[in-house]
Structure 1
């Protein structure tokens, strides 16, 4: 029931490897590693020159040969970074900063560019980040406002489901940002079901969200739908643009229509409570089936293939009950 809207395919898997379709004679022979999946022979070829998808700052600087980041580029809470800094203090390891200082001038890239948080930018402070005005401004101001839209989206009966987002069964999403914060919003399904809100009842910066508890509300005319928070954490930033223009959430639910940036004490624990790519697709398929039954009850039989849903389902089908929709899909009401 789902189809990819982005046809881009990965050409590398794992660290330093590439793959191609092969022939049966390549299984067990040749320089590659041959295996059969679904009746098709695939040959994986090690390639030491390949670049891992999330290379650690220490690797990108050339201070170590290989290390992927498993802490969302949140160096302040990274055990590996702390251990490496201790080795540097003992004179047993060159720091990533010193390694970058040895690079040609044009290759001395800002650490925020290395971690993918901003576009290409040269370092002007010789990697003394504590003295850098931009570094402080970015961490305090720009990081909360700098976000990116999804590049790989599946579509299920007209509803967008992006990859690398984590979903709560109350139709909210969380995306782990570089630096360890989580960006939060309502998903495309809920915003199409309830239609464009007249406003959002959002808490202020500094307030706490509690996982699975009522976190905010969606208003439409005389109706209010409560929404459950997908994670625990403290709100670091509220999207003022959505408060001023609620329709932005409907137009770009996974981009500029985000609602909060949240700091949580344990990012990995928070992510484990939510659905990943495969689970979220299965869940949305099931939610669509429930919605189809509700629509059939008030509007009669759907097309044989179910068709696809457009925006403002509630507004276009007055027979649907707002409170029932909130109970069924937002787990509130």
Structure 2
């Protein structure tokens, strides 16, 4: 019987792949990649032309046939990379660097070209990336570029929620980036809730933050709001623009208004304790409903404008109480 397959232009695995419905017994097959979505088993088989959106260096070098990077190209903390290197030490296969050195000179390109983050560039350091000035420079430039990139958001009653980010119940967000860096900020909800800040009391470089503990503060007039850190990590960068112009955080909370960046050798563990964007959207809808009830009890029903809540909730309704708002939504006193 002819296999029921369908060629698609794009899937969560890559381009040019075949997929089919399968059973749980199919998950043991090594010739296909299995995934369970909504209780249904789907089997995906990359064809010879398959390409992944985020190609792993082990795949691009030819050591393995197909592998996507799911660690933001931070090989130093990647469990897959660690496992592959251990196998290389036992002589089971070459490292990706050794595989690249065996290629013809015109194919020995920079690892950043392999991952498609830059156009064609030859490797001049024989894949000894730690000795390459360009590699270090590029990582710094890439991190700076990522920090101000606009991110896709979804609006819920006037509050913007970023996709591809993680959320803490204290209304902060975290986003994993290349090199094990986690960028952190306050969400649109909290900044509209408390209004325009006079200043942010941000942590200093080198300070170690603990997930779920107070990490920084927001000042408005005589009021101070403590904010819980969404992740563990050591501060490696602080946004000087927000320190100089606090309004930047309100104007672009997920772009230029980020607050600081931390480094965590096991950042993915911290992120696992947070909500992803799907759970975050549902949670945010509940938080907005809670705020609407509080406003209703103080000022009566919302205006007939679709229920959009004002840009400065506390500034327009101080009767809600600063401490009441921070205790309810930021989870701090």
How much has 1:76 moved relative to structure 2? 1.5
Residue 271 (structure 2) aligns with: 271
Deviations 1:147-167 (A, max 9, x none): 253543211111111122110
Residue 253 (structure 2) aligns with: 253
Residue 6 (structure 1) aligns with: none
* Residues in 1 aligned to 2:316 and 2:191: alpha-carbon distance in whole angstroms: 14
Residue 11 (structure 2) aligns with: 12
How much has 1:246 moved relative to structure 2? 1.2
Deviations 1:150-191 (A, max 9, x none): 543211111111122110000001111122221111011111
TM-score computed with the length of structure 2 as normaliser: 0.79
* Residues in 2 aligned to 1:194 and 1:103: alpha-carbon distance in whole angstroms: 60
TM-score computed with the length of structure 1 as normaliser: 0.79
Residue 144 (structure 2) aligns with: 145
CA contact under 8 A between 2:143 and 2:177: conserved in structure 1?
A: no
Structure showing greater relative contact order (alpha-carbon pairs closer than 8 Å, 6 or more residues apart): 1
Residue 27 (structure 1) aligns with: none
Residue 78 (structure 2) aligns with: 78
Q: Secondary structure at the match of 1:179?
A: helix
Residue 27 (structure 2) aligns with: none
Deviations 1:55-110 (A, max 9, x none): 211112333211222333221232332343344455543432344452664x6543
Cα distance, 1:126–1:45 mapped onto 2, change above 3 Å: closer
CA contact under 8 A between 1:12 and 1:19: conserved in structure 2?
A: no
Cα distance, 1:176–1:104 mapped onto 2, change above 3 Å: same
Residue 29 (structure 1) aligns with: none
Cα distance, 1:80–1:203 mapped onto 2, change above 3 Å: same
Q: CA RMSD in A?
A: 3.0
Q: May I ask how many residue pairs the two structures share in their alignment?
A: 301
CA contact under 8 A between 1:144 and 1:261: conserved in structure 2?
A: no
Cα distance, 1:45–1:92 mapped onto 2, change above 3 Å: closer
CA contact under 8 A between 2:11 and 2:17: conserved in structure 1?
A: yes
CA contact under 8 A between 1:113 and 1:121: conserved in structure 2?
A: yes
Unpaired stretches in structure 1, ≥5 consecutive residues: 1-9, 21-36
Residue 211 (structure 1) aligns with: 211
Cα distance, 1:98–1:175 mapped onto 2, change above 3 Å: same
Task: Indicate whether 1:315 and 2:323 are aligned.
Answer: no
